[in-house]
Amino acid sequence: MEIRIEKTAERQVTLILAGRLDTSVAAAAEREIKPLYDYFEQEIVIDCSQLEYISSSGLRILMHIAQQGWINHCEIYIQGLQPNVYDVFKTTGFVHLFKIK
Amino acid sequence: MWATIMSIVFVITRNSTTREAESRYEGIMLHANEKIRGVLSDVYVAAINNVSVIESDLDTPDKLQAHLEQMLKLNNYMSSCRLIFEPDVYPQRGHYFEIYAWRDSTGTIRSKQMNEEHPDYLTHPWYKTAFEMNEGDWTPPYFDQAASQQLTTTYMTHIHNQDGRKIGMLGADVSLEWMRLRHKRIDAENHERFEKGFKEQSYSFVIDNGGTYLVHPDESRILKKTFQEIAATTTDTIDDYLARQMKNHESGSCQIKKDGVNSVLFYSFVKYAEWTVVIVVPEAIINHQGNMLGAIILTVMFLGLIIIFLLCRSLIRNIDQLGKTTAQKASIEQELKIASHIQQSMLPKKYPPYPERPDIDIYGEIVTAKEVGGDLFDYLMRDDKLFFCIGDVSGKGVPAALMMAETTSLFRCEAMLHTEPNRIVSQMNKAICETNDSYMFVTLFLGVLDLKTGHLSYTNAGHEPPMLVRTLARFIYVDNNIPLGLRTDWEYTNQEILMDRNEILFLYTDGYTEAETATHEQYGRDRICSKSNRLAYLDLDARQFAHQHYETAQSFVGDTPQADDISLLAIRYLGQSPDTPYYRCLTLGNDVEEVIELTAFVNSICKDLNLDETTTTYTTLAVEEAVVNVMKYAYPDREPSHILLEVKADDEALTFILRDKGMPFDATQAAEVDVEQNAAQRIEGGLGIHLMRHYMDNISYKREENENILVMQKLIKK
């Protein structure tokens, strides 16, 4: 599992998730995305093009990001979802929580 | 030889002591001699000196009386003195003229002219004899009947007038009473100091030139008898010879029989007086001290000899004993060697032990420390089940080895009768408790591996937790049961895990974890765990696995001698026979980290079954959610426990059976989550269950014997 946060434009920050976001790495991932909560009124892009797998623990992290983004007046986009992961998003209704690019 | 040495020592001691006693008496005698000589010479010198004084005052006879008094006054030993003149020297004083001075009974010096009172003195033989001589001399002793009534001797010396003619004599009297008293005292002192308790005692006497007794304990002899007369009365002639010797002014000593007693007679001639002082000492007294000392020395030597003899004897005995002990020790060491050999031979030695079985690979090794130790492991096969155990008896040496042997045979016996590990362990425990008077105990891990299924049930009685090695290595959870031999009524608990194909159960004793470097750093479980993790990827067989472990520990401790036995036992389960339906299993610890294991496990199954990637992902996801839910809800306190996952597959379906011993938790009954809610309203729970339900085709739950059993089925579309 690899997590990166990159400032990609003046009002845009990108979170790159790569690999498998399962329960065994969830706690570590939760810590690593914390800096994201410091952005206000920005566009947050979650790049999932390299995300192979996500379980409910990973979804829960994304939900935290969504909730915090709503508080911070950030707009959150998800881009590059692979089919298997997209299916999980669909199954859990997460497609409604984010704007999917 | 000892007798000779002892006699020589005795004789030397006695002789030297005898000489010492003799010289003591000789000393006493010489002292007496000196005293007599001293007294007499004092008196003699006084007399000689006064002669010239008297001669210078012959013209004034009145002064002479004062001279006499003065002379007497200055000489304590002089009892009296007199000045006697030839007739008519002083005609005006009368025919005779004699002055006499004496001490009276109070010690006062008095004097008088004796002229008429002592009329015939000039005719007395003592005077006449002395006067006839040309020099002064001592008169033979006599009883002074006139004055002191004591034995007396007088030094008579001539008075000359200016013409040199002898006109009279000066007589200085010495009472020999002091001599009598002195010898009495000497005898008494000798009796008191040296001769106590003897029947015959020493005595001293003095004889004059003629042999007449002057001092003698028998006072009747004094002046009455001579030595010669007494000597003549005896039969032997030695005393006659002595009498002659004394007369010749000789000194010396001689052994004689005196008054019927064997004695030594010491005699010493006194100059001036020409007397002889004699001490007669019974030989018994002379020899007594020597005899005593000799006897004491002999006794001491004899005792010493006895002690030396006893010491030597015990020494010899000790040497014998030492020889025997050494021999015994050698034989004990030999026996220990044999015991160690027997002990080793009780351990399984043949590897692979079951070459005909494709499902099991075992390798065990005990590296014994110096002494015979109490480590043990054993296994046996019965009804397609592998019964195995590893254990460690407390302590070392033969008692531990015997206990080890007993434990091993109990295992062999009970494992034939029972199948449940806790039942076997309980039976072993009871038997050990019954005979365990020395409070030894045995830690034991006992497992029963069903080779058909990989199902391992086990009981751990205070032993180190074994390690289950697959892609990761984990210590399996063990209940805290007490070691064997401590409490006969202890209820041992059973636990179970599942071994998947190619998994290794690695067992060891504390000699391995506690292997120490020179700086007392222990090898420890962490190193065992990380080593196992490294080895896990290598897909080693049981022998290589155990051996690699041992070598790592060896290079860790270096040259430090091994303190305890190190036993390693690796059991590798190779899986069911190929013709049975597809079956896999996984044992997970109650830890989210283990999800990695789970993923690898499910992936490998999907690969075995040639399932596509999407199915693999969704199956993995569903199983992960199921397992994580168990961890979260069945074990809210995260207590250590195993979660067991069995997988069966046939042409139509893949079935997962998830079992745990946590709190009752039925995922099938959980409320459905509303997936249409927006982020602000969404609650966290329920997502996993939702995914699980979604991606599995059938889910059922049941609670059986304290177990949650969740069965999930994924239909396979081929």
DSSP H or E segment with residue B534: helix B524-536
Cβ pair B624:A66 closer than 8 A: no
CA–CA distance, B675 with B434 (Å, rounded to integer): 66
A60 touches chain B (CB under 8 A): yes
Q: d(Cα B181, Cα B188) in Å, to the nearest integer?
A: 10
Distance CA B304, CA B315 (A): 16
Which chain A residues have a beta carbon less than 8 Å from that of B625?
55-56
SS3 at position B255 = strand
Residue A88's pLDDT is 92
Cβ-contact B117, B98 below 8 angstroms: no
Residue A96 is nearest to which of B625, B678, B687, comparing CB atoms? Answer: B678
How high is the pLDDT of residue B287? Answer: 80
Q: Does A95 touch chain B (CB under 8 A)?
A: no
Q: Does A8 touch chain B (CB under 8 A)?
A: no
- Tokens coding B194: 């040296």
Closest Cα partner for B531 from B520, B543, B547, B515?
B547
Cβ-defined contact of B620 to A53 (cutoff 8 Å): yes
Contact B389, B423 (CB under 8 A): no
Q: Buried b vs exposed e over B330-353: b needs ≥16 C-beta within 10 Å?
A: eeeeeebeebbeebeebbbeeeeb
Give the closest-approach CA distance of B647 to chain A in angstroms: 21
Alpha carbon dihedral B212, B218, B220, B222, in 10-degree steps, equals 30
| Chain A residues touching B674 at Cβ < 8 A | 93
CATH class of B347-573: alpha beta
- Chain A residues lying within 8 Å of B687, measured CB to CB: 56, 59-60, 92
CB burial readout B682-696, b (16+ within 10 A) else e? beebbbbbbbbbbbb
Residue B679's pLDDT is: 56
Contact A27 B595 (CB under 8 A): no
State the complex-level ipTM: 0.92
Structure letter (DSSP) for residue B220: G
Q: Is the Cβ pair B628, A70 closer than 8 Å?
A: no
Whether A63 and chain B come into contact, CB under 8 Å, resolves to: yes
Phi-psi region of B223 (alpha: psi -120 to 50; beta: other; left: phi over 0): left
Fold of the domain built from segment(s) B179-288? Beta-Lactamase (3.30.450)
Give pLDDT, residue B678. Answer: 63
Best to test chain A binding among B590, B606, B617 (most A CBs inside 10 Å) = B617
* Cα dihedral sign, B276-B281-B287-B293: negative
Nearest-CA neighbor of B509 among B393, B597, B608?
B393
Interface size between A and B, measured as CB pairs under 8 A? 76
Alpha carbon of B569: minimum distance to chain A alpha carbons (Å) = 31
Instruction: Tell if the CB–CB gap between B678 and A87 is shorter than 8 Å.
Output: no
Rounded to whole angstroms, the Cα distance separating B618 from B602 reads 10
Cross-chain Cβ contact B618/A84 below 8 Å: yes
* Interface contact flag, A92 B675, Cβ < 8 Å: yes
Residue B96 near residue B87, CB atoms below 8 Å: yes
* Mean pLDDT over each residue of chain A, to the nearest integer: 91
Task: Quickly list H helices, B137-265.
Answer: 177-193, 227-233, 238-247
Residue B433: left (phi > 0), alpha (psi -120 to 50), or beta? alpha
The pLDDT value given to residue B301: 84
Chain B nearest C-alpha distance from A9 (Å): 25
Chain B neighbors of A56, CB-CB under 8 A = 625, 628, 687-688, 690-691
Chain A: closest CA distance from residue B693 (Å)? 10
Residues B458, B445 contacting (CB under 8 angstroms):
yes
* Distance between CA atoms of residues B248 and A59, nearest Å: 150
CB atoms within 10 A of CB B550: 17
Question: Are the folds of B57-175 and B179-288 the same?
Answer: yes
Domains of chain A are: 2-100 (3.30.750.24)
Tell whether pTM > 0.80: no
pLDDT at B718: 59
Residue B116 is predicted with a pLDDT of 65
pLDDT tens digits for range B94-116: 777 888 888 887 878 888 887 66
Considering only CB atoms, which chain A residues are within 8 Å of B593? 24
- pLDDT value at residue A52: 92
Residue B142: half-sphere exposure toward Cβ, Cα within 13 Å: 14
CA B551, CA B50: separation in Å to the nearest integer? 124
Angstrom distance (rounded) from CA B358 to CA B652: 28
Looking at the complex, does the CB of residue A97 fall below 8 Å from at least one CB of chain B?
A: yes
- Please say whether the dihedral angle defined by the alpha carbons of residues B546, B549, B554 and B555, taken in this order, is positive or negative: positive
Residue B462's SS3 state is strand
Query: Checking DSSP bridges between strand A75-79 and strand A43-54, what pairing results, if any?
Result: parallel
Token pair, residue B594, equals 């283990």
Strands B455-461 and B360-367: unpaired
With CB atoms and an 8 Å threshold, state whether A63 touches B679: yes
The phi and psi torsions of B498 (rounded to 5 degrees) equal: -120, 135
Query: Among residues B525, B405, B535, B507, which one has the least CA distance to residue B449?
Result: B507
What integer pLDDT is reported at residue A14 of this predicted model?
93
Which residues, other chains included, contact B232 with Cβ-Cβ below 8 Å and sequence gap of 6+?
B240
User: From CA B393, how far away is CA B401, in angstroms rounded?
Assistant: 8
Partner-chain contact A22 B599, CB within 8 Å:
yes
- Domain B582-715: assigned CATH number: 3.30.565.10
Smallest CA–CA separation between A68 and chain B, in Å? 9
Which among A63, A67, A84 has the least Cβ separation from residue B617? A84
The gap from C-alpha B1 to its chain's centroid, in whole angstroms, comes to: 37
Task: Identify the closest residue of chain B to A90 by CA–CA distance.
Answer: B675
Domain boundaries of chain B, sorted by first residue: 57-175, 179-288, 347-573, 582-715
Across the interface, of A22, A27, A66, the residue whose CB is closest to B679 is A66
Q: pLDDT tens across B2-61, in order?
A: 788 888 888 888 888 888 888 888 888 888 888 888 888 888 888 888 888 888 888 887
CB atoms A84 and B678 under 8 Å: no
Kindly give the pairing relationship between strand B166-175 and strand B151-160: antiparallel
Tell me which residues of chain B have a pLDDT lower than 50: none
Contact (Cβ atoms closer than 8 angstroms) between residue A90 and residue A57: no
CATH of domain B57-175: 3.30.450.20
